[in-house]
Each structure stands twice: as structure tokens, then as C-alpha cells.
């Protein structure tokens, strides 16, 4: 098999990453007659689902919606077994997609892209890979994912620890056996909330080190009822259309009413129904949930009441009650998370005032306590949205480093391109709806936009497309303005980069999928307004 680096002629497009974005990108480009290939760092496909193998890892959006919509045949042929697919089932789906669309020969695994530079002389991208080769391509498409670069704080003394350490986002393929072990988990985000109930099933003793309590809604995961699936499949287009018309590109049965328009009994009934349904549809309870602090507090208080009703130890329950704005950090979706604290061998350690002071050979000193343990699980999240791009040395015109250009925060036009970096695309890049949505819908929308764009360039004899600087500045202002109109700025979330020390505090995703998709359609219809197109 020839690898991209052996290809004599430049590729039309090099795609970085074989997750959901890269795979669909490859499929679309090949279908449109472009010579495209994927380079992937991992030994297999699946992107974030390839790396996040921690126990209990599952998608937090219902699988009937968290799946490709571009192929009706695929949607009809594929059967999810559970309401929320597990990580292994997601990888089985990915393998099925690769086989169904004959993508395997277009993917080069075990190869990391170290550097991508725009060559001013040739007008092409030179992409240096970890196998020591350089691939040349006219277009370079970053399908590097939003949650793929781990956030691994360097705690003092970390190397002195005698036991095993694991990061949820880099879990070993063969799994980890915690039987008989005393385990400390650092973090209480989504990865922790999913893995803690599973680790507790094995561990002899489990300590959870919590800096900030998070809101979590039960998944009520269950095997999918064939009649329910058949009903969805018979009307799949309707479900997809409903999802795409909502801000999260996910049908959450959005209530158009403000909480102020409802009686206390109606508010209660609305929340009870959403708790009983489970998962992220709780975001759709009231139209003003992320805008009106009073409405937000109603929901937050409802959640705290639920936590207190589940967790028997009063002090633990209080510690688990979040004080922050509801939904400011992505709400978690769990299976038995709060119930786990009723187990006698599970303890919550408050590290909100005194954080992790140091790792010692026999454990962790945190929250003013010494926690002796055999294993530490770092569930400390990701350098989200920009991390994977920052880890590649990306150089645009005149050798400008993308990292330098983005030193004060990412600057993009539509989250798709950045001025000075012609023919470089970021699928679900910062400034696009991405992580605030059902990712697969955002991925498909971007891949379709990029494919249409490349077809347009080919048809019009255009060699380069590049975001205009004034367009990207205006877009960046608009992204911030939309976020500022909500409560999403009011906490230290990874949407703001606040979880990574030193990262600029800028709200990175764009809130509102339908308005965004409409804007992209308009831009394309106007001959790629806001982009500079050139024949040479």
C-alpha cells in the first residue's frame, strides 16, 4: 500500500485525524473525486472514542441521534444496543463505517503530524509526520478533535508515586483491574462521574478528590426497545430535522416558555418530567435557563434537592451540591454516580480550599489530608478545542505560527479558517458550535461546507481560499457577544479554557447551531463572503 508520503504528486487534501470528522471528510472528498488521505496518531480510528477507554465511558447524547445522518442506508442498517452507546460499541460503529464506505486504504495509522507549514513558494502545505516523511497537499484539514489533548496538571512529587497512575483520556486498551486496590480519583467532571461507579465496583477503597462539584442528571440508560427504534427509523428525517433546528443540534424537546410564564406547579412538573427522561434534555426545560439567573437557580436548587434525596450522608451530600450556575459547565449524564457515595468504601474528599499539594510515594496530599493509595486516576479533562492544534507546529504565510497568532485566544472566521493560513481548515474549530452541540451534526455540517467549498474552488479555477482578517475579527466579537448574553461566562469551564493554567479566558464555542448553519449557507451562497479567493 502506498502511504501519503510516497505519493509523488501532491494530494488534493491531507486530513489530520481519523475520528468521526476525519472519516466523513475522507468519504466526502473521495466521493467528489479528490485525492485525499488521513494521517492518524493512534493505532486505530475513532478519535476521542479511541483514547477514552476508561471504565463506564459512554456518549452523553442518545445514540439514535449521536450517529451519522449523511447516509440513510447506514442509519437504517445500524442498530445500537443501548440508549447511550458504550465506548466499545462506538468503536464497532466506526469500524462498520470504515468498511461500509471502503475507507481503510485511505488511513495511515501510528503517524503523528508534527508540523504543517504553508509553503509560500509552491502554495502547498508541507506536512511533516512522525515517520520522518513530508506529505505535500493543496489543502490541509485538521480533524483533530475538540477533546483529544489531555489536560495533565504537573503535581509536585508526581514521579515519586510507587503505584500506578492513569489518565481517563489515555486509558490502556487492555483495561485496568482495580480489584483489591485503594484508588484515588482526582476530578469530578464527566469522565470521573462515568468512571467512579465502575471503579467503585472493583476497588477495595475509593477516594474521590473533588475541587468543584458538578451537576449530573441520570442517563436512565437501558437496552433500546426494538419498537422505539423502528419508530425512529421510520421517521428518522423528522427526528434529525427537529434536532438541527435546536441550539444544541440535538432534539431536547425544547420548551419555548420562560420559567416566569409558568406556575410553580408547572415548573415542578417540567423538571420532574425531564429528570425522569434523563440526560441533557434538562437543558431544554425553560427557554431562559441559560439567560435568567433566577430561572437558572430554580433548576440548580431542584438538582441539589435530588442530590440530597439520593446521598445518605448529609455532609457528603452538601459537598456534592454544586453552587455554580447550572449548565455553565457541561452537565454530566451518569449511571449511579450519586448512589456510589452511599457505599461504605467510597469517600469524597473536599479539595476546594486546599488543592492537590503533592503526590507522595504512597499517595496524595490534598485537601489538608494524606490519602494513602495504590493507584491514582487523573480525571482532569482536556486542553479543549485548541490543545490538539497547539501541539502541532502549524505555520502559515511567512512562517507565522498559529500558536503565536492565537496566543491571546483563537481567532477564526466561523471556526473554520484563520487569516494567514490559506487552505487550512479546522473541523469544529473554536468559534463554531462544536462542543455545545451534538458533535456529529456539527462535524457533518463542517465537512459538507468544506467539500462544497473545495468543489467550488475546483470549478472556478481558484487555488487558494483564506479568511479575511476583518471578517474573523467581526466573527470573534460576535461569538463573545452571544456568549456574553448568557450565563456561560460565569464559571471556570473548559469552554473558556479556564481548566488549563495560563490558557487565555475566551469563550471558544459558538452558541446556536441553527443560526450558525444559516450563516454558513449565506456565506457560501455569496461566493464565500469574508474569504479571499485567489487563482494563484
Per-residue interface string for the shown chain with ligand NA7, residues 109-148, x marking contact by CB under 6 A: --------------------------------------x-
Task: Assess 369 for contact with ligand NA7 (CB under 6 A).
Answer: no
Q: With CB under 6 A, what is the number of residues at the site for ligand NA7?
A: 22
The minimum distance between CB 404 and ligand NA7, in angstroms, equals 26
Task: Assess 53 for contact with ligand NA7 (CB under 6 A).
Answer: no
Task: Assess 362 for contact with ligand NA7 (CB under 6 A).
Answer: no
| Strand spans (E) along 367-451 | 369-372, 375-378, 393-395, 424-426
Nearest CB to ligand NA7, comparing residues 4 and 19? 19
Nearest to 92 by CA among 80, 110, 102: 80
Helix (H) or strand (E) segment spanning residue 160: none
Number of Cβ atoms within 10 Å of the Cβ of 411:
21
The minimum distance between CB 523 and ligand NA7, in angstroms, equals 28
Nearest CB to ligand NA7, comparing residues 154 and 162? 154
Task: Assess 187 for contact with ligand NA7 (CB under 6 A).
Answer: yes
Sheet of 375-378, strands arranged across: 164-167, 375-378, 182-186, 205-210, 346-350
Helix (H) or strand (E) segment spanning residue 182: strand 182-186
Task: Assess 321 for contact with ligand NA7 (CB under 6 A).
Answer: no
The minimum distance between CB 519 and ligand NA7, in angstroms, equals 24
Task: Assess 192 for contact with ligand NA7 (CB under 6 A).
Answer: yes
Residue 124 corresponds to which cell in the numbers above? 502547498
**Closest residue to ligand NA7, Cβ-based?**
189
The minimum distance between CB 478 and ligand NA7, in angstroms, equals 24
Rg of the chain (C-alpha set): 23
Per-residue interface string for the shown chain with ligand NA7, residues 480-509, x marking contact by CB under 6 A: ------------x-x----x----------
- H-type helices in 66-204, by residue range? 72-77, 87-100, 190-202
By CB under 6 A, the residues from 208 to 237 that bind ligand NA7 are: 211-212
Q: Report the C-alpha gap between 375 and 372 in whole angstroms.
A: 9
Task: Give whole-number Cα distances, 124 to 10, 140, 214, 446, 463, in Å.
Answer: 8, 9, 46, 22, 10
Task: Assess 182 for contact with ligand NA7 (CB under 6 A).
Answer: no
Residue 533 corresponds to which cell in the numbers above? 479567493
Per-residue interface string for the shown chain with ligand NA7, residues 397-436, x marking contact by CB under 6 A: ----------------------------------------
Of the ranges 136-144, 197-205, 374-382, 469-477, which one interacts with ligand NA7 (CB under 6 A)? 374-382
Helix (H) or strand (E) segment spanning residue 308: helix 293-310
Nearest CB to ligand NA7, comparing residues 161 and 382? 382
Are residues 120 and 113 in contact, defined by beta-carbon separation less than 8 angstroms?
A: no
Nearest CB to ligand NA7, comparing residues 48 and 412? 48
188, 335, 437, 451: which one binds ligand NA7 (CB under 6 A): 188
Q: Report the C-alpha gap between 174 and 177 in whole angstroms.
A: 9
Are residues 497 and 508 in contact, defined by beta-carbon separation less than 8 angstroms?
A: yes
Nearest CB to ligand NA7, comparing residues 87 and 255? 87
Q: Report the C-alpha gap between 132 and 11 in whole angstroms.
A: 18
Are residues 438 and 66 in contact, defined by beta-carbon separation less than 8 angstroms?
A: yes
Nearest CB to ligand NA7, comparing residues 54 and 421? 54
Query: Which residues sit at the interface with ligand NA7, rule CB under 6 A?
Result: 147, 153, 168, 186-192, 211-212, 330, 355-356, 379-382, 492, 494, 499
Amino acid at each position: 500500500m502506498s502511504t501519503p508520503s510516497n505519493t509523488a504528486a501532491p494530494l488534493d487534501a491531507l486530513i489530520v485525524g481519523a475520528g468521526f470528522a476525519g472519516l466523513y471528510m475522507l468519504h466526502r472528498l473521495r466521493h467528489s473525486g479528490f485525492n485525499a488521505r488521513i494521517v492518524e496518531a493512534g493505532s486505530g480510528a475513532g478519535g476521542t472514542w479511541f483514547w477514552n477507554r476508561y471504565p463506564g465511558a459512554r456518549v452523553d447524547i442518545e445514540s439514535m441521534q449521536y450517529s451519522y445522518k449523511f447516509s440513510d442506508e447506514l442509519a437504517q442498517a445500524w442498530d445500537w444496543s443501548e440508549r447511550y452507546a458504550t465506548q466499545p460499541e462506538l468503536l464497532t460503529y466506526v469500524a462498520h463505517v470504515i468498511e461500509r464506505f471502503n475507507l481503510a486504504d485511505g488511513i495511515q495509522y501510528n503517524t503523528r503530524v508534527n508540523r504543517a507549514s504553508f509553503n509560500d513558494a509552491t502554495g502547498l502545505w508541507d506536512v511533516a509526520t512522525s515517520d520522518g516523511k513530508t506529505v505535500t497537499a493543496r489543502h490541509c484539514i485538521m480533524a483533530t478533535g475538540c477533546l483529544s489533548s489531555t489536560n495533565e496538571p504537573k503535581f509536585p512529587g508526581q514521579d515519586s508515586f510507587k503505584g500506578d497512575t492513569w489518565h481517563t483520556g489515555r486509558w490502556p486498551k487492555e483495561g485496568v483491574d482495580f480489584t483489591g486496590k485503594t484508588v484515588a480519583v482526582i476530578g469530578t467532571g464527566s469522565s470521573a462521574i462515568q468512571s467512579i461507579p465502575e471503579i467503585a465496583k472493583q476497588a477495595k477503597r475509593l477516594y474521590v478528590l473533588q475541587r468543584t462539584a458538578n451537576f449530573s442528571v441520570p442517563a436512565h440508560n437501558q437496552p433500546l426497545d426494538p419498537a422505539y427504534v423502528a419508530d425512529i427509523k421510520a421517521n428518522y428525517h423528522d427526528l434529525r430535522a427537529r434536532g438541527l433546528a435546536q441550539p444544541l443540534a440535538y432534539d431536547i424537546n425544547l420548551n419555548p416558555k420562560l420559567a416566569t410564564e409558568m406556575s410553580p406547579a408547572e415548573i415542578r412538573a417540567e423538571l420532574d418530567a425531564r429528570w425522569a427522561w434523563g440526560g441533557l434534555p434538562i437543558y431544554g426545560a425553560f427557554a431562559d435557563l441559560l439567560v435568567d439567573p433566577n430561572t437558572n437557580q430554580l433548576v440548580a436548587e431542584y438538582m441539589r434537592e435530588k442530590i440530597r434525596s439520593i446521598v445518605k450522608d448529609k455532609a457528603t451530600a452538601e459537598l456534592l451540591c454544586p453552587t455554580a450556575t447550572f449548565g455553565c459547565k457541561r452537565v454530566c449524564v451518569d449511571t449511579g454516580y450519586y448512589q456510589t457515595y452511599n457505599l461504605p468504601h467510597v469517600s469524597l474528599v473536599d479539595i476546594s480550599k486546599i488543592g492537590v499539594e503533592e503526590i507522595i510515594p504512597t499517595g496524595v496530599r490534598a485537601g489538608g489530608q494524606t490519602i494513602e493509595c495504590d493507584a491514582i486516576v487523573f480525571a482532569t479533562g482536556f486542553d479543549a478545542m485548541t490543545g490538539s492544534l497547539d501541539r502541532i507546529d502549524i505555520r502559515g504565510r511567512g512562517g507565522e505560527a498559529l500558536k503565536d497568532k492565537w496566543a491571546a485566544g483563537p481567532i477564526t472566521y466561523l471556526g473554520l479558517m484563520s487569516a494567514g493560513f490559506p487552505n487550512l481548515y479546522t473541523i469544529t474549530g473554536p468559534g463554531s458550535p462544536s462542543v455545545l452541540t451534538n458533535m456529529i451534526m456539527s462535524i457533518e455540517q463542517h465537512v459538507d461546507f468544506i467539500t462544497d467549498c473545495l468543489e467550488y474552488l475546483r470549478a472556478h479555477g481558484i487555488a487558494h481560499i483564506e479568511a479575511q482578517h476583518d471578517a474573523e475579527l467581526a466573527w470573534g466579537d460576535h461569538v463573545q457577544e452571544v456568549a456574553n448574553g448568557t450565563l456561560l461566562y460565569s464559571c471556570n469551564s473548559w469552554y473558556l479554557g479556564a481548566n488549563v493554567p495560563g490558557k487565555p479566558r475566551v469563550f471558544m464555542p459558538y452558541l446556536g447551531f441553527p443560526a450558525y448553519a444559516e450563516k454558513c449557507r449565506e456565506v457560501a451562497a455569496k461566493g464565500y463572503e469574508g474569504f479571499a479567493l485567489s487563482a494563484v
